[in-house]
Amino acid sequence: GAVRVMAKDLIRTRHQIEKFYKLKSQLQGVSLRIQTLKSTQAMGDAMKGVTKAMGQMNRQMNLPSLQKIMQEFERQNEKMELVSEVMGDAIDDALEGDEEEEETEDLVNQVLDEIGIDINSE
């Protein structure tokens, strides 16, 4: 008798342990779902805040004004490029003229030296 009673108690205890493990797993699952819901709610709140900020920024932006600013920027940029190009060409022309003068003078002196005429002595 006593052995059977102890065996039944052992079996009941084992079943209770199994039930507790199942309950623990279920509670962990519920806890995970609650965490997921909290994360989803936080994400929703963050998106709501971002959407509100974006709306405020969009209301503050004056698209026609921005377009005018960009057009003026392009116009001024093109003007600056043109001025820079003209100045560069003018500088190149000025420097080329000096080089050509020097080359011309050197060539004249070389030819005169070859034929034996010294301009400086005259």
CB 99 within 8 A of CB 105: no
User: CB under 8 Å to 112, separation ≥6 — which residues?
Assistant: 118, 119
Provide the whole-model pTM: 0.42
Task: Give the tens place of pLDDT for each residue, 59-107.
Answer: 888 888 989 999 999 999 999 999 999 998 888 877 776 667 778 888 8
Residues 66 and 101 both lie in one domain: yes
Residue ending a domain, choose from 24, 40, 61: 61
Residues 85 and 47 both lie in one domain: no
Indicate the number of domains in the chain.
Answer: 2
Tell how far CA 93 is from the center of its chain.
42
Burial of 109 (0-12, 13-18, 19+ CB in 10 A): middle
Residues 49 and 81 both lie in one domain: no
Residues 116 and 78 both lie in one domain: yes
Residues 44 and 84 both lie in one domain: no
Give the domain extent around 28. 1-61
